[in-house]
Structure 1
Amino acid sequence: MSEIKRPRRPAEGGYARGQETRMRIIAAAIDVFGERGFEAASTRDIAARAGVNAPALQYYFENKEGVYRACAEFFADEVWVRFEPVVLRAEARLESEAGTAALIDAFIAIQETIADKIFMQPKSLSHRLFFLREQAGQEPPIASEIIQTRVRGPLNRVSSELIGRIGGTAPDDSLTRIRMLSLFGQLMLFHMSPRSTLSLLGWSEIDAEKGELLKSTVRAQTRALLEMWSAEREAREAGSVKTGRKKKG
């Protein structure tokens, strides 16, 4: 694979027009990469879908790898705009050593932001395919690296810290991470397998009302589990205190 170069930016005078063209190319590239995969896609196909000529695409992105990188950066930036506020609030609660109830609320706020992204902003088939190919390891690793660094890494880190603090386990403990995956997995099923989940529910789509039903159900289940893990932690801590008192006696 050739070296990935940073995309060129248009001169300041033509920035608005150049940015519009650049975004049109990225939108077309997401469709083509989603439908065909990186290897089968060509810059010629992407340019044609975007309504520009091949030299215009090369001007902004140099090559196919550059376009692919820009697609991943677009997704990461778009998603992080939604997640940054809840992540920052969660970090603030962790730093202030907030109580268990506040930590549970912080985790649920993150989870509901994920739910809103899945249920209230449904993506096209090509967008889902882009992510499915990336998750399956079928595409260049640069997309996973960008999304991991900008979105998944910060999101998973603060989520594991919240769950660890609530349940009394280390953030990097396998149990903590399994718990995090199980809680997020309640939502990911609808993102990764929308057709089968809708079929099972007898729904044709997830509208606002159905989205709220899903969110409230997941919220209740998540709160119940987090409160249970918190109670288990408190029981362990109480047991340790009693054991310590007996030894002193």
Structure 2
Amino acid sequence: MRQAGRRSYRPGEETRSRLLEAGLVLFGRQGFDGTSVRQLAVRAGVAVPAIAYHYTDKAGLYHACALHVIRRYRERMAPLLGELGDPAEIRDREAARDALHRIVLALSDMLVPRGSEPGWTRFMMREMQIGGPAYDLMLERLWLPGLALTAALVGRARGRASPTLGDRIAALHLLSGLNWQGAARRVSEAFLGRRLDRIPRPVVVAEFAALTANIGSE
């Protein structure tokens, strides 16, 4: 019989899920070094040994969080990327600009969802800014492929078969323009006098359309 007052383990999958959710939130807010295993356990509502049982240690949970972020990002972007197809097949400059607009808007929607902020986006942004234990993994599987795609589309919008150094810099400039919704979110909200998820979406759509419309028309 279970002793009164002792916390029992939840069924395996539920415990793993709760720990993963706790990791995304706490690591996203406090980073790897700033988060203790006890905080993770309390947030998940499980006993501390559950972390070792399911993820080996705190680093294992952090790695699992990074893989979850990569998977969620790919799931969110897959329908759009499948529709756009291979950038090499895009011959029309206007089609390339439209593809850039849709990609930037999709990234914006991930950074500022209409509703509660998913913990995985905060985890992703912190890893990009601070460079935690999963930086290399996310760089290789997430950020570099995304930048390569954006640079290829910039090149197409400028009438080139392959991106130049200038096109790659333009891709960095374009995607870093999302920073006001990410790392600089608090400054943005103070300046605009409202939460970013309260900005009417048509306003955001129009501004991003104006931004991408200039690419290739220089």
TM-score (norm 2): 0.82
In the TM superposition, what is the alpha-carbon distance from 1:79 to its structure 2 partner?
1.4
Residues 178/99 of structure 1: CA separation in 2 closer, same or farther (3 Å cut): same
Give 2:106's aligned amino acid. T
Give 1:189's aligned amino acid. W
Q: Which residue of 2 aligns with 1:41?
A: 35
Residues 125/97 of structure 1: CA separation in 2 closer, same or farther (3 Å cut): closer
8 Å contact from structure 1 (residues 161, 171) kept in 2: yes
Q: Which residue of 1 aligns with 2:6?
A: none
Alignment of 1:1-249 (within 5 A): 17-92=11-86, 94-121=87-114, 124=117, 130-140=123-133, 143-168=134-159, 171=162, 173-207=164-198, 210-223=200-213, 225-229=214-218
In the TM superposition, what is the alpha-carbon distance from 1:170 to its structure 2 partner?
7.2
| Larger relative helix fraction | 1
8 Å contact from structure 1 (residues 119, 211) kept in 2: no
Give 1:108's aligned amino acid. H
Q: In 1, distance between residues paired with 2:51 and 2:140?
A: 26
8 Å contact from structure 1 (residues 107, 159) kept in 2: yes
Identity, % of aligned positions = 26
In the TM superposition, what is the alpha-carbon distance from 1:73 to its structure 2 partner?
1.1
In the TM superposition, what is the alpha-carbon distance from 1:168 to its structure 2 partner?
4.3
8 Å contact from structure 2 (residues 28, 126) kept in 1: yes
Residues 175/123 of structure 1: CA separation in 2 closer, same or farther (3 Å cut): farther
CA RMSD of aligned residues (A): 2.7
Larger Rg: 1
Higher relative contact order (CA 8 A, sep 6+): 2
Divergent runs of 4+, >4 A: 121-129, 168-172
Q: Which moved more, 1:144-153 or 1:122-131?
A: 122-131
In the TM superposition, what is the alpha-carbon distance from 1:89 to its structure 2 partner?
3.3
Question: What does the per-residue CA deviation read over 1:28-50, in whole Å, with 9 as the maximum and x for residues that have no partner?
Answer: 12232234321232223211221
TM-score (norm 1): 0.73
Aligned length: 209
Residues 35/198 of structure 1: CA separation in 2 closer, same or farther (3 Å cut): closer
